[in-house]
Chains A and B, each alone.
Chain A
Amino acid sequence: MQSEIRQPLPAADSGRPALAFVCPRLAEAGAVGGAETLIRRLAERAARAGGRVELLTTCARDHFTWKNEWPAGRREFDGLVVRFFPVDEDRDAAAFARAQRRIGRGEPLTAAEEAAWLAHSVPSRALCDYLRGALASFDRVLAGPYLFGLTSAVAALAPEKTLLIPCLHDEPFAYQPAIRRLFASVRGCLFNSAPERELAARLYDFPPRRGVVVGMGLEPFTADPAPLRKRLGFAAPYLLYSGRRETLKGTPLLCAYVQTFRARTGRDVRLVFTGSGAIEAPEALRPAITDLGFVSEADKHAAMAGALAFAHPSCLESFGIVLLESFLAGTPGLVHAGSPALRALCRDAGAGLWFRHYGDFETALNWLLDHEAERRALGALGAAYVRREYSWTAVERRFFERGLRL
């Protein structure tokens, strides 16, 4: 078995390798999170580069209900073959939720409970059956994120061919023994950031040589904030947050901090949101919040370009696609120090500040308001950094030359 694990990819002259990407949902415009977007984009780029590429996913759209909404079968999206398979109808959502809650509370699970937790976390026998039958025709299976039972089930089919795209962050689920076994079993990992790889090394003794930092490429864009500014109807500086608004993403914390900042300093800094979810904010802050909801990419980029800073208060990130987009728009980041991945992006790009608590937040925000030239310099550095390190050319180089050669 060991010799099989070390079996290399077909030689370069035999053409591009055949790749199966697996993720629990298909990323659609504005409807799902970063991990799904990342996997879809990588699959699209791999398909464009040639060779056989398929993205295997479930028919689910909603990450709470996992209800089968897409019709099962094969479809093509921008040249990428996507195969939809139903989530098992006999999935015990209640058992899964019970186990999930217990893990969240830090309670240990028995081996049987842990197995049940994974078995009921987005299972798709149809997807696994298809992959089992087609395994011989694929050189590599790229599956993620780590958290889903589907990922573990796929990795178990052919660990020697599986490259995990874990999107790992420090949360109770990452400490489950089954996840440690998952990392130990696969051929290698494609990480989004160096801190994510370091976390895998810390949690699972994952050897750095079996992982490569790849990330996701971003298309360059230019954005004019002026028309959006007019629509916003105010001239005050604002912090922007884009994405899902929920406690785990830290949006209530951001609202509380901005409200306190306004009350204590008397400075008119507003909050602009794009994305989905209810905004949990103090009543007094409501007039200072603008919720744009789902917007076009052009509007999102304009909102980024016009912001004082892009605020990312989440501690549970393995990457920061929206933060990098903001850098590309020339806007610096203001992120929570509790997220090593976001902190590393700000530090490595030289394009953002990070805060531990309100004291840091207030001081950093005052600094950004009072140092316009420096703020612009940070933004410019961020844009240059993204163009250099997160262009598709750079990402494809890391993916094809390093990732697929693990």
Chain B
Amino acid sequence: MGRPGGRLGAFVHMDGPLRTGHVGAICLRRARFGLYSPAMSTTTQTPEMEIGAAGVDVERIVAEIRAEADRKIAAGLYDDARVARAERSNLVQLLGEDDFLTFYLKGLRDAVTVDISDFEIHERRKWGAPLLVRFKKTLWSALKFYTYRLWSQQNQVNELFATALDGLEQRYREKITQLEKRVAELERRLPPVN
């Protein structure tokens, strides 16, 4: 199959899956793109550059990867302090993403309360395990007793912050939606430009 030349716009031709992967159902397919050149309509009819002729549909692979990652995020598989730490230097880059705020507000809501409930205390070492468990339990009780006031106040502050941010986000989102509707309506009323 020859490459399309001198045609504006792009098309993709799928020749069928070569292999199905296991990340979601990632399909590796042969794709064929037409030319891609925004400037061509104003300059010349021959392509400036051709892209991805006879290629793998990486956009599809990336879409599958994203869907898989989004599913894992929704399932809480990335609610992990290590991920949060790694993500710190990525925050600036994510600011450009449309769903950045929604994504992080959800994370904030999930993590807003410091967990001060009791938990099961184990001991992996066999020797003296009951004694060690008893010691750890005593330690935890003391720690909880002396820090309860601190953590409960911290939780109160966290919840107030999260609620305020949530409220602000919702309020401005509604406001922006209203303004966008209004702008669209006003633009509709404008006389057509010759």
Contact = CB atoms under 8 A, between A and B. Distances in A.
Interface of A: 194, 197-198, 207-209, 211-213, 247, 250, 252-253, 256-257, 259-260, 263-264, 315, 336, 338, 346-360, 362-364, 366-367, 370-371, 373-374, 377-378, 381, 384-385, 388-389, 398, 402
A52 B159 CA distance: 70
Contacts, number: 146
Interface string B87-120: 1111001101100000000000000000000000
Interface of B: 18-19, 21-23, 26, 28, 31, 33, 36-39, 42-44, 48-59, 61-62, 65-66, 68-70, 72-73, 78, 80, 82-83, 85-90, 93-94, 96-97
B36 A367 contact: no
A366 B23 contact: yes
B82 A356 contact: no
A359 B72 contact: yes
Contact of A360 (B26, B58, B65): B65
A211 B56 contact: no
Given A253-B90, A366-B23, A194 B37 contact: yes
A349 B54 CA distance: 9
Contacts of A208: 38-39, 42-43
A386 to B, nearest CB: 12
Contacts of B49: 194, 213, 348, 389, 398
A378 B80 CA distance: 32
B38 A354 contact: no
Given A197-B39, A213-B49, A264-B80, A363 B72 contact: yes
A35 B22 CA distance: 40
Given A363-B65, A374-B28, A398-B48, A315 B93 contact: yes
A350 B23 contact: no
A345 B23 CA distance: 23
CB-based closest 8 A-B pairs: A350-B55, A359-B69, A348-B51, A256-B86, A208-B39, A338-B93, A209-B42, A260-B86
A377 B96 contact: no
6 contacts: A208-B38, A338-B96, A346-B58, A358-B86, A360-B66, A378-B56
A301 to B, nearest CB: 23
- Looking at chain A's contact residues, the main secondary structure is helix
Contact of A364 (B65, B73, B94): B65
A213 B48 contact: yes
B153 to A, nearest CB: 32
A371 B23 CA distance: 10
Given A348-B51, A358-B78, A367 B86 contact: no
B161 to A, nearest CB: 23
Contacts of B85: 256, 260
Contacts of B86: 253, 256-257, 259-260, 358
Contacts of B93: 315, 336, 338
B62 A381 contact: no
A208 B49 CA distance: 15
Contact of B52 (A315, A338, A350, A357): A350
A353 to B, nearest CB: 6
Contacts of B56: 350-351, 374, 377-378, 381
Contacts of A389: 49-51
Contact of A385 (B52, B61, B62): B52
A65 B43 CA distance: 43
Contacts of A355: 65
Given A208-B39, A315-B93, A350 B58 contact: yes
Contacts of A356: 66, 94, 97
A353 B19 contact: no
A213 B47 CA distance: 11
Nearest to A378: B56
Given A260-B86, A363-B68, A350 B57 contact: yes
